[in-house]
Structure 1
Amino acid sequence: MTNSSSSSSGQHVRLGAGDAEVTVDPGNGCRISSLRVGGTELLRQGERYGCFPMVPWCGRIAEGVFRDGATEHRMPLNAPPHAIHGTGRDTAWRTARADATEASFVYDLAEPWPYSGRVTQTFELTEDALTLRLGVETYADSFPAQVGWHPWFRRTLDGGEEAVLDFAPAWQEERGADHIPTGRRIDPRPGPWDDCFGMPDGVAATLTWPGRLELTVTSRARWVVVYDEQEAAICVEPQSGPPNGLNTAPHLVTPIEPLELAATFAWRRPV
């Protein structure tokens, strides 16, 4: 399964390996619109769902305001009273290259983001895993940024039992009434969650659909957001910093130090 034109942002790109199939929609935020294993769709369907990149920030920015030194910037309040999930998911990306199992996409940062730079996302598919990579680079001014992914995994697969999530975070970021972390780290609490967790040795979380499939999300990222408040899906979101991290834990992108992160979704069937 192959691709569209290498310069197009409007055509879907399809990858295939064994019985795994991935469809990427560069025109709709370069999101994975479909991830199928053995003919079974693993992602919630719809133009807002699938699996989208969070860039150049993850989760909410409190009241849409972040500071870079003494300079204050305001982002559009797309989740009032906050700004959420970056601008990349609302942008048309360009397909840089694509073959049967790998593809790369790019877009140039633009307003309302106040800095210039380039974002690259790549996908590599094998028979039992999909590896995603995000990179943010600048050729001019340095700036704070975050990257991550927001997959919407289906809670049930074609009428089967509900998925069970297994992960062992070191802490939970205490969430305020405004959904912004307070800055306190607390012992992990039972769900349902719309919460950020710390995993200092890297993200490792497993979703098991009993009798059907086991899928593990791994990344060297130290934070993961779990959102399971909707009946249709469970979101397991590896990211380079916590919500509101542009203010509390920014990573500085410089001309000699880009921000780069990878994550892998690996699956296996029960024996």
Structure 2
Amino acid sequence: MTNSATPVTLRSGDTAVTVEPENGCRLASLVAGGTELLVQGPGHGAFVMAPWCGRTDHGRFRNGGELHQLPVPSEQDVRDGLGGPHAMHGTVRRLPWRTVRADERSAAFTVGLTDPWPWDGVVTQLVELAEDGGGITLTLGVETYGTSFPAQAGWHPWFRRTLREGGAEAQIRFAPEWQEERGADHLPTGRRIEPQPGPWDDCFGMPQGVDVTLTWPEELELNVSSRAEWVVLYDEQPAAVCVEPQSGPPNGLNSLPRFVTPIEPLEIATTWTWRHLT
């Protein structure tokens, strides 16, 4: 086992990815052909969302007849632009993870699920660069140490809106079957509507699997795919476009719980592939 506080850099072809286990196992950098694809900074890059994704209604959810209360946004969340009344993006994105193994182009990491999450368990993340350096696959697992519990998992990457000063902005192409109607409280209402034009802070259903392409004209094309059926698009900030594959919609601990049991962990993967256009 390597030093958990040490960033891990993987390389393949002309691609390098740096993972910071001490900072929530966040992808801090993804450089392809000399171009940084992720917004830089301790709250950006690409972070893991677990054991829930997006917003949970005022931090409250029920498991059977028992009501649980999760932490609502902290002062650090507010500084990161994640204020509001709801519990945000899970508990593991700021915890220190352990590096289980690392080689030239893959690495595995783990972190324990403990208080304030009501049950004990473990989250694992596997990061693998393609042999030719033209893609990356991220795999998450959520397991329980005994008691079954509802959970979600996914990723929140902050892709750069422009890849160079004065460059073209990223264009988003995808074909969802529906959009989760968003209420004034930013939570899904439970209604599915026809997909609406952006800007977005919205969840979309893609039952055949997530398939979203970002194109920076004459520079780069990047595809985000996953067998997961939900994706959140967020492009309300001038510097970033977020494409977030996840195992359920926001507030899913209440509306669409997926149970982690001793014989059935929650597993989700996403693959990002890219090609240069010049």
Task: Work out the number of aligned pairs and report it.
Answer: 266
Structure 1 runs of 4+ with >3 Å offset: none
- Cα drift, residue 138 of structure 1: 1.1
Q: Give the Cα–Cα distance (whole angstroms) in 1 for the partners of residues 145 and 21 of structure 2.
A: 24
State whether structure 2 residue 155 is matched by structure 1 residue 149. Answer: yes
Can you list the C-alpha shifts for 1:34-84, whole angstroms capped at 9, x where unaligned?
000011100000000000000000000001001110111101111431001
2:93 is paired with a residue whose SS is helix
1:197 is paired with a residue whose SS is strand
* 2:141 partner amino acid: G
1:201-240, aligned counterparts within 5 Å?
A: 201-240=208-247
Q: Give the Cα–Cα distance (whole angstroms) in 1 for the partners of residues 220 and 206 of structure 2.
A: 24
- Cα drift, residue 139 of structure 1: 2.5
* 1:41 partner amino acid: E
Partner of 2:76: none
Cα root mean square deviation, aligned: 0.8
- Cα drift, residue 220 of structure 1: 0.5
Which residue, out of 182, 191, 197, partners 1:190?
Answer: 197
Q: Calculate percent identity across the aligned residue pairs.
A: 63
Can you list the C-alpha shifts for 1:211-234, whole angstroms capped at 9, x where unaligned?
111000000010000000000000
- Cα drift, residue 112 of structure 1: 0.4
User: Unmatched 5+ residue regions in structure 2?
Assistant: 74-82
Can you list the C-alpha shifts for 1:240-271, whole angstroms capped at 9, x where unaligned?
00000001111100000000000001001226
Which residue, out of 247, 251, 264, partners 2:254?
Answer: 247
State whether structure 2 residue 29 is matched by structure 1 residue 34. Answer: yes
Partner of 1:9: 4
1:41-80, aligned counterparts within 5 Å?
A: 41-78=36-73, 79-80=83-84
State whether structure 2 residue 94 is matched by structure 1 residue 109. Answer: no
TM-score (norm 2): 0.94
* 1:38 partner amino acid: G
Which residue, out of 129, 135, 143, partners 1:125?
Answer: 129
1:153-192, aligned counterparts within 5 Å?
A: 153-159=159-165, 160-192=167-199
TM-score (norm 1): 0.97
Partner of 2:19: 24
